[in-house]
Structure 1
Amino acid sequence: MFRNLLLLLVVLFPCITFAQTSIQVLDAQSGEAVPFVSLKGNNLPSFVADENGQVNLSLEEAAEIRFSHVAYESQEVLVPVSGTLVVSLQPAANALAEVVVSSFETERPLLEQAAGIVRVSEADLFRFNETSVVHAFNTKPGIRVEERAPASYRISIRGSSLRAPFGVRNVKVYWNGIPFTAADGTTPLNMLDVANLQNTEIIKGPAGSIYGAGNGGVISFSSSPEITENRISTDLSFGDFGMTRYRFGLSQQMEEGGIKVSYVRQKADGYRDHTAMDREVVQLTGHFKPSEKQLLTTQLLYSDLFYELPGALTASQVAENPRQARPGSAAQNASIDQQSMYGVVSHDYQFHPKFSNKTSIYINTVDFENPFNLDYKKETQFSYGGRTSFTYDGNWGSIPVRLIGGGEYQFSNTAAQNFGNRGGQADTVRFSDELLTRTAFLFQQLEAELSERFLLTLGLSENFSSFDIARNIDAIRGMPSQARRTFDPVIVPRIALSGKLNEQSAVHGSISSGFSPPTIDEVRTNEGTINLDLEAEKGINYEVGYRSSFRQGRVNVDISAFYFKLDETITTFTNPDGVVLFRNAGATDQKGMEALVDYALIRKQLSFIQELKLTHTFTGHYFTFADFMKGENDFSGNDLTGVAPHTVVNQVDLRTRPGFYLNFTHQFVDDTPLNDANTVYQEAYHLVNTRLGWRGSAGTTLDLEVFAGVENLGNASYSLGNDLNPFGGRYFQPAAPRNFYGGIKVGVKY
């Protein structure tokens, strides 16, 4: 009996088939097969399509499977148990109509946005050495990031660094939805590592109608909290001048969310004497969905940063030895030692298909120590704040509208002490202050789709700010004192109109107001002065622009022109002791034009060269002092200090089917005036950077990348950030000559 049954099975076995699904993956635009697409579903092993875009699956039941490829938009597909299935993937969003940005609290395609907005993606950061954001940001028109020493940043959006001798001012910065700019107007941008930034959106020009103070613009950083897979990853890079950087990351999915942790350590000796830096950053993220209507995100960020300050040099010192530090900087241990911790909770709630809310709150602590050539500063700060916004999508008659309203509040309490500096150690206390700063604003915005072509935006905010300075110890004057400044409430409006010419192009125009009160560091300077007469800057910006996308996103154009009129402009000057002070300088006229054009010469996934893309940007900033008297000198009509009139960037990006890639960047920066009299200039220079490498996978679980690069390939002599209007002719902070770097990245899915 058993022998007969076995014989029957042997005879029938060739006729038995198992249910199977045959899948073909195609390019939705060209119809060509897309090779090596990754397929992943819940509780299923990972699969990879072959070089012909084909894969066969054996499933017990129909399943939702995610198809993903580096060059295409990911797509969720319901795969049946058996049969033949064709999956068409859209090429990754390169067209402006497909790039969605969330600026002005509303997610819309960039083509529809009526503002000067640029996006810095993670891929932009990976075109360079991943030790800072400097080179990636400087490829964008209208944006200028300076790094006078490793981790010593200064950001200029359309010339806004005029009042920032150090640090980031006059620009509002957000990180994962919370205000990263402190209540006192300063931003510790150097506390963040590139690993904490997956996407950046930059609004150029005043955006106070919805983001509060800051004439320069708004920078919104985000590190995606969503965890889509279990993964361990690590990076290691190294370079000239003692640079090392390593990162470890872990992401773990949970039933309704996940957690992610990363640790980064970066060290460098620096090109110049006394320019060492050391930074550690830990980020812990939680992503949870309590219900279908709710999303809860938690963030914990700790950063420990130390870097030395070499100081600026005169022209003769640069000619003698550009690597030297300013005399006295090393002896006095001029440096920054700063530890900061952010705790963040964000909650998204969809009350109704048309009505939602997002609320974020944070707590921040900072310990700051800054020995300098002339003094020694210590600060301890505790601050908290939050932001909430409500969004309603509905109709006003036959007109679709979106209403947005909300508010933001920030408070900081700082214990600040200034001492004498004796050989790098804190000496006798000079003055000790308690600083209380408050800032708040309410905002509301209406978006009305007047027709299929026209989108009208009306925005308005009401802004409030004040600070209190309690001088508990004043060794110079001998008497404690109290100072308080409350700025009058400021109404900041904005009107914008975007009009589609067709599905591939649009024009836009806007009128927006802005204001920027002085920061606490500008009112209370290092030599002990409290300048309560310093007024807030106020300005109005007029802007028009054109955006278009042709040949299915292969060619993209973004052009804008603007005129910004700024009153009570805050500028810097240096007293004979070398202390930077501030004053209002009348008015400035800022006319400009910015343009970006990119086009793909080759985009074929099956060819050896899968993509060859060229990008060109132009920045023309024609900024002048409209009304500026400095003692008996009339500088009206002079070019604005620290602003290059012309900047040009050319980029080439090459990607091949075997995984090799090449990124090439050339940047030209025009002559830049370094003093208000326009008698000293930073000479024009050409800067060339390049990176090449290989990215690939081993099986379905291991990702690998090896890379190397050269910074300043042409060995240009330049300063990546100069001191403006300094005493004693100390203008220049020489940047590194030609230097090399390399590294490796490994990621493992589990």
Structure 2
Amino acid sequence: MKKVITFLFFLISLGLQAQIQLKITDQITGLPLENVRVKADKTILRTNASGIVAFSGENLKITFALEGYETLEKTFSSGEFEVQLIPTVLNLSAVTVTAFESERPLLEQSAAVVTVSERDFSRFNEISPVNAFNQKAGVRIEERAPASYRVSIRGSSLRSPFGVRNVKVYWNEVPFTSPDGTTALNLLDLSNIRTSEIVKGPSGSIYGAGNGGAISLFSQPNLSENRISTDFLAGDFGLSRFRLGLSQQVGNGGIEASYVSQKSDGYREHSAVDRQVFQLGGYFHVSEKQEIRTQLLISDLDYQIPGALNADQLAANPRQARPGSINQNSSISQQSVLLSLGHLYRFSEKTSNNTTVYLNTNNFENPFILDYKKELGFGYGARTKFTHETKLGGKELRLIAGAEFQNAITDAQNFGNRAGKADTVRFADKLRTYQGFFFQQAELNLTEKLLVTLGLSENFSGYEIDRQIDAAGGRTGLQTRTFDPIVVPRVALNYRLNPFSSFYGSISSGFSPPTIDEVRTNEGSLNLDLEAEKGVNYEIGYRLGKEKFNLELIAYYLKLDETITTFTNANGVVLFRNAGSTDQKGIEASLDYAILRNASGFIKDFLVGTAYTGQFFTFIDYKKQTNDFSGNDLTGVPPHNVVSRLDIRTRPGIYLNFTHQFTEKIPLNDANTVFQESYDLVNLRAGWVKSLGNFDLELFAGVDNLLDESYSLGNDLNAFGGRFYQPAPSRNWYGGVKIGLNY
């Protein structure tokens, strides 16, 4: 009898044991999703053909992951629930961005903001961000040589003979752009960039200097599960890339580490690249009120500079280096360390503060045909933001206020270059650059549909150049340039027409002081009279986001005064000057359509999209000696660019990504007498993705420049001796494997 009673109690306990039963479906189709990886504590299960999975227990934090869908984490009590996963390509009404320090759905943003997702990056060869960014309207990254980037947002690369200027870049909320206005984007591997948000046009009311816009790069770890992963890629021109990654939960937070080594011989002579990047990040949930974030980035980059060719050299052999580049070992070696600490504190449900501080060091060495440059730098900075939500007359009001400050100190020396070795010192400087601003913003919901934004920043910046040595007999001693404080306002409206469409308009100011490389040139002169560019941007836009159809239309007019342009002297040294003003009128249109989305069919996704960029930019009142270039097209800007995409993903895991980009001819000098001819660039990637228990496997292969076009992805502008062209690689193939283990 005792055994019977014991058995009955056992059965009753089984019946009373709390259970969580989940049915996972596609948010768009409502169809069940099979093989979703569902993790609760240390238990990992997969959904069956009906999308169902069950756990014993209650109040469990459960994570859902499936290729092609956003990762989701929720807490469940006992019972039966339906969970909808969001496809990674979805309508605009479901996309939330943090642009202008205000987290809102994209349809409520009153600015031109574009997102670049992990899926965008993985459509191409994952050795650089170039192709992923270039599929977005109004955005263009040029690559004059491997790892030598030039970012252009709405034609902002005019004054960038090399490097990234006139665009403010943040990495994990850290100001990645130096206080002198330059950005070493090539120090980051693509594994350090999971997603990105790009604000197009002047955004100084929140982000400070930069008429082109602002780019926020994010690599925050996915700490919903413990994971070890590795990638290997190989391709033409001696390309190889290896990555090893680890993410580990620690309490309610965790750490993530990755190491990447990428090497290539390059398409052209003397264009090899060797980059190694180590990243260590941590996220710690201290309490319901506090979160702490840490980042350590160590980057070691070496790349050769083949140099630009003239038309005859290009026709004879596009793979050759510029004469002298090899003998002089024209190249860049750069080692950098960045350490940051972020702290989020919630005073209440309505009020919070987010502060990030950083330190960085930089060792830079650049032998060039004409000289040899060495720099050793140290910098620090901070950005803080307070957010408070309240009501004004019964209407919702969000107030944002904060500040940012950066300071950098550099020992810079320029030598003669004798066969690739530093020779006699020509001049040496101790440099200090600083930049800071305060910002305030108010967002008021005048009605349920109308959002009004008023923003303002107060900016200050300057340089100190303490010349220690000048072998040419020039002036030594301290020379300074302090720019007058600049107030940058912004006014914007967003009107929600209905749940899936909106209209916005904005007027925003911007400014961009000259960088230290524009003030302090390679031949030793100091152009302290160079003025900051100042612009006013007028913009309107319309967005439509439905389940299978996205449309965005934008028109803008930017009036830019004191435009900084480049020219090259007889010795080939790039110099800078203010060139009157420019009129910049533009149109941007993006369309995405899901022809087929079927969670249970053979073809799960069939997506097409296109992005058009029209840039009708001209000089105004631009005279250079006896030449009058007023009315000419702006140098280095293609008037038309069209990108078309086709993506197919199947139930067995096979996928195909096809991209076609047409770029209209580009004027390469201010006189508009030399052009880069128009070109069609076609890229293709195919692969197979499979989840095998706790293992994830991906095999992939692709081809860049399928049509074998002859083109330059980044040209030298107003080049002396006709050396305009930096030939891009011909048709090239690559392939690789990705392996991940969840434990």
Q: Distance in 2 between matches of 1:603 and 1:560?
A: 28
The 3 A distance-change label for structure 1 pair 164 and 73 is closer
Q: Contact 1:226–1:258 at 8 Å: present in 2 too?
A: no
Shift, 1:352, TM fit: 1.0
Q: Contact 1:121–1:200 at 8 Å: present in 2 too?
A: yes
1:572 partnered with 2:566? yes
Match of 2:736 among 707, 731, 743: 743
1:449 partnered with 2:445? yes
Q: Distance in 1 between matches of 2:240 and 2:442?
A: 49
- Can you list the C-alpha shifts for 1:402-447, whole angstroms capped at 9, x where unaligned? 0000111011111000000000000000000011111110110000
**Structure 1 match to 2:393:** 397
Partner SS, residue 718 of structure 2: coil
Q: Contact 2:20–2:57 at 8 Å: present in 1 too?
A: no
Partner SS, residue 162 of structure 2: coil
The 3 A distance-change label for structure 1 pair 582 and 222 is same
Match of 1:710 among 703, 706, 711: 703
Shift, 1:33, TM fit: 1.8
Residue identity in the other structure for 1:32 = L
1:49 partnered with 2:42? no
Shift, 1:69, TM fit: 2.9
Q: How many pairs does the alignment contain?
A: 741
**Structure 2 residue runs without a partner (length 5+):** none
Partner SS, residue 573 of structure 1: strand
**Structure 1 match to 2:717:** 724
Q: Contact 1:93–1:99 at 8 Å: present in 2 too?
A: no
Match of 2:163 among 129, 145, 167: 167
Q: Distance in 2 between matches of 1:181 and 1:669?
A: 28
1:615 partnered with 2:609? yes
Q: Distance in 1 between matches of 2:27 and 2:303?
A: 50
1:360 partnered with 2:322? no
1:25 partnered with 2:30? no
Shift, 1:255, TM fit: 1.4
- Can you list the C-alpha shifts for 1:506-552, whole angstroms capped at 9, x where unaligned? 000000000111001000100000011111100100000000013xx
Matches within 5 A, 1:89-238: 89-92=85-88, 94-238=90-234
Q: Contact 1:660–1:695 at 8 Å: present in 2 too?
A: yes
**Structure 2 match to 1:37:** 36
Matches within 5 A, 1:655-666: 655-666=649-660
Match of 2:64 among 45, 63, 67: 67
Q: Distance in 1 between matches of 2:380 and 2:52?
A: 54
The 3 A distance-change label for structure 1 pair 185 and 10 is closer
TM-score (norm 1): 0.96
Residue identity in the other structure for 1:614 = V
Partner SS, residue 527 of structure 1: coil
**Structure 2 match to 1:581:** 575
**Structure 2 match to 1:628:** 622
Residue identity in the other structure for 2:410 = T
Residue identity in the other structure for 1:94 = L
**Structure 2 match to 1:638:** 632
TM-score (norm 2): 0.97
- Can you list the C-alpha shifts for 1:616-670, whole angstroms capped at 9, x where unaligned? 0000000000110011000000000000000000000101111110000000000
Q: Distance in 2 between matches of 1:332 and 1:601?
A: 55
The 3 A distance-change label for structure 1 pair 470 and 23 is closer
1:503 partnered with 2:496? no
Q: Contact 2:29–2:599 at 8 Å: present in 1 too?
A: no
Shift, 1:88, TM fit: 4.2
Shift, 1:229, TM fit: 1.2
Q: Distance in 2 between matches of 1:670 and 1:376?
A: 37
Partner SS, residue 163 of structure 1: coil
Q: Distance in 1 between matches of 2:527 and 2:255?
A: 47
Q: Distance in 1 between matches of 2:689 and 2:424?
A: 57
- Can you list the C-alpha shifts for 1:69-95, whole angstroms capped at 9, x where unaligned? 3344544555565x6554444545611
Q: Which segment is superposed worse, 225-234 or 286-295?
A: 225-234
Q: Contact 1:73–1:93 at 8 Å: present in 2 too?
A: no
1:373 partnered with 2:366? no
Q: Distance in 2 between matches of 1:324 and 1:76?
A: 53
- Can you list the C-alpha shifts for 1:170-229, whole angstroms capped at 9, x where unaligned? 111111111100011110000000000011111111000111010111011011145221
1:652 partnered with 2:646? yes
Residue identity in the other structure for 1:46 = I
Partner SS, residue 729 of structure 2: coil
Q: Distance in 2 between matches of 1:60 and 1:287?
A: 27
Shift, 1:53, TM fit: 1.3
Residue identity in the other structure for 1:302 = I
Shift, 1:11, TM fit: 12
Q: Distance in 2 between matches of 1:226 and 1:293?
A: 21
Q: Distance in 1 between matches of 2:161 and 2:152?
A: 11
Q: Distance in 1 between matches of 2:108 and 2:510?
A: 22
Please, what is the CA RMSD of the aligned residues? 1.9
The 3 A distance-change label for structure 1 pair 178 and 253 is same
Q: Distance in 2 between matches of 1:327 and 1:98?
A: 53
Q: Contact 2:235–2:732 at 8 Å: present in 1 too?
A: yes
**Structure 2 match to 1:593:** 587
Q: Contact 1:307–1:335 at 8 Å: present in 2 too?
A: yes
Shift, 1:27, TM fit: 3.5
Q: Distance in 1 between matches of 2:103 and 2:540?
A: 21
Match of 2:689 among 677, 692, 695: 695
**Structure 1 residue runs without a partner (length 5+):** none
Q: Contact 2:153–2:201 at 8 Å: present in 1 too?
A: yes
Q: Distance in 1 between matches of 2:517 and 2:181?
A: 9
Residue identity in the other structure for 1:730 = R
- Can you list the C-alpha shifts for 1:50-72, whole angstroms capped at 9, x where unaligned? 12212344x15553433333344
Shift, 1:297, TM fit: 0.4
- Can you list the C-alpha shifts for 1:660-686, whole angstroms capped at 9, x where unaligned? 100000000001000000000000000
The 3 A distance-change label for structure 1 pair 216 and 89 is closer
Q: Contact 1:548–1:556 at 8 Å: present in 2 too?
A: yes
Q: Distance in 1 between matches of 2:12 and 2:66?
A: 37
Partner SS, residue 46 of structure 1: strand
Residue identity in the other structure for 2:49 = E
Shift, 1:26, TM fit: 3.1
Q: Distance in 2 between matches of 1:157 and 1:16?
A: 64
The 3 A distance-change label for structure 1 pair 697 and 724 is same
Shift, 1:749, TM fit: 1.1
Q: Contact 2:180–2:433 at 8 Å: present in 1 too?
A: yes
Q: Distance in 2 between matches of 1:358 and 1:322?
A: 50
- Can you list the C-alpha shifts for 1:578-633, whole angstroms capped at 9, x where unaligned? 00000001000000000100000000100000000001000000000011001100
- Can you list the C-alpha shifts for 1:278-297, whole angstroms capped at 9, x where unaligned? 00000011111221100000
Partner SS, residue 136 of structure 1: helix
